[in-house]
């Protein structure tokens, strides 16, 4: 966009009825909990608007009221920090056109989880520095407070404390080239298929298995047989898996219309290429947004495989 240009922005206001959400917060022993911070955060908002939420503080009887809530999907959270101990409660909820029933949240202490990172191929065990890795847990319900992180020690052990009762997805960062997270389990439960469930309140042990046989996906984006620089590529798993954030891989093509994704988890994916409008170029303005995405379904990657794909965007006539 050139300096001095005028941009028209149309915005519409929602006319939904404003709803009141009310309830109470109880302490660990069931007593009213005064002075507790309560947050009702929307799960429908984009990340850039994640700070938009409704807040309240409980009164002497542990009661709270949040006014002006728009119908939608929310996560209700209560938090208290006293004497070095953090207590919390989390509850997903739907707010319809009628006020929800009186909500009760009971504060509880955080949960600890310990674990170990191992290599599934014995021959590769000495080629990776486990202390360069970090383990992350993220709530699958979308509440930003459902989160945990830990550094991995040289012997592969790690520990997280003060986690809230929740269901989490797990992923690793710091993996060197060619490595991927192959397995994760809590007891007999496959955490990559069913998540890490800490709703029982009991301490858990998480075991992660690494493989040095990651796949690689590369490709090009073309339009009228010419490379497209700056195209957005989004790689997503098929079928969808809410417990594996590492299966979602965004990338942008370089000046040659090419992209490379290393450390790919073997499996089946869908690949979508989208043309990003360049408002600085007159020839693209007004036409780039009309270009439909190019999609490849069911791209299969095996261990150690290096696959190259081509996506062709169709320019509107």
pLDDT tens for 61-116 read 999 999 988 888 888 889 888 777 778 888 888 888 887 878 999 998 888 899 99
User: Which of 211, 229, 255 finishes a domain?
Assistant: 211
Q: Could you give phi then psi for residue 64, rounded to 5 degrees?
A: -140, 155
Q: What is the pTM of this model?
A: 0.71
Question: Rounded CA gap, 87 and 109, in Å?
Answer: 5
The verdict on residue 181 lying in a domain is yes
> How many domains, in total, are found in the chain?
3
Give me the CATH number covering residue 42.
Answer: 2.60.40.1120
Taking only the tens place, the pLDDT of each residue in 26-64 is: 998 999 999 999 998 876 543 334 445 689 999 999 999
Same domain, 255 and 277: yes
The verdict on residue 11 lying in a domain is no
| Average pLDDT of the chain, as a whole number | 85
User: Which of 67, 91, 108 finishes a domain?
Assistant: 108
Q: Which domain holds residue 199?
A: 111-211
The tokens 């170990």 sit on which residue? 116
Cβ partners under 8 Å of residue 72, min gap 6: 42, 43, 44, 94, 95
User: Which of 75, 108, 141 finishes a domain?
Assistant: 108
Structure confidence at residue 15 as a pLDDT band (50, 70, 90): very low
Taking only the tens place, the pLDDT of each residue in 264-291 is: 999 999 999 999 765 444 444 455 557 8
Give me the CATH number covering residue 185.
Answer: 2.60.40.10
Question: Rounded CA gap, 273 and 266, in Å?
Answer: 20
């Amino acid at each position: 966009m050139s300096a001095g240009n005028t941009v028209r922005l149309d915005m519409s206001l929602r006319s939904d009825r404003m709803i009141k959400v009310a309830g109470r917060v109880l302490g660990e022993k069931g007593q009213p909990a005064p002075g507790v911070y309560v947050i009702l955060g929307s799960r429908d908002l984009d990340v850039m608007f994640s700070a938009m939420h409704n807040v309240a503080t409980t009164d002497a009887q542990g009661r709270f009221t949040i006014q002006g809530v728009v119908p939608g999907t929310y996560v209700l959270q209560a938090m208290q920090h006293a004497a070095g101990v953090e207590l919390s409660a989390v509850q997903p909820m739907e707010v319809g056109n009628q006020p929800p029933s009186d909500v009760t949240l009971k504060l509880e202490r955080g949960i600890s989880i310990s674990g170990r990172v191992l290599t599934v191929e014995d021959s590769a065990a000495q080629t990776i520095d486990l202390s360069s890795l970090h383990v992350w847990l993220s709530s699958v319900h979308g509440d930003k407070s459902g989160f945990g992180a830990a550094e991995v020690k040289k012997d592969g052990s790690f520990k997280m404390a003060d986690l809230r009762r929740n269901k989490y997805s797990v992923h690793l960062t710091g993996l060197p080239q060619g490595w991927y997270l192959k397995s994760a389990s809590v007891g007999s439960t496959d955490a990559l298929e069913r998540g890490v469930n800490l709703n029982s309140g009991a301490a858990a042990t998480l075991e992660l298995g690494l493989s040095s046989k990651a796949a690689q996906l590369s490709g090009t984006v073309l339009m009228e047989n010419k490379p497209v620089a700056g195209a957005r590529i989004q790689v997503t798993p098929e079928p969808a898996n809410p417990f594996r954030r590492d299966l979602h891989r965004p990338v942008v093509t370089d000046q040659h219309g090419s992209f490379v994704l290393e450390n790919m988890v073997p499996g089946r994916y869908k690949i979508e290429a989208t043309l990003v409008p360049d408002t600085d170029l007159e020839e693209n303005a007004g036409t780039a947004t009309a270009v439909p995405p190019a999609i490849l379904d069911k791209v299969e990657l095996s261990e150690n495989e290096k696959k190259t794909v081509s996506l062709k965007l169709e320019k509107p006539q």
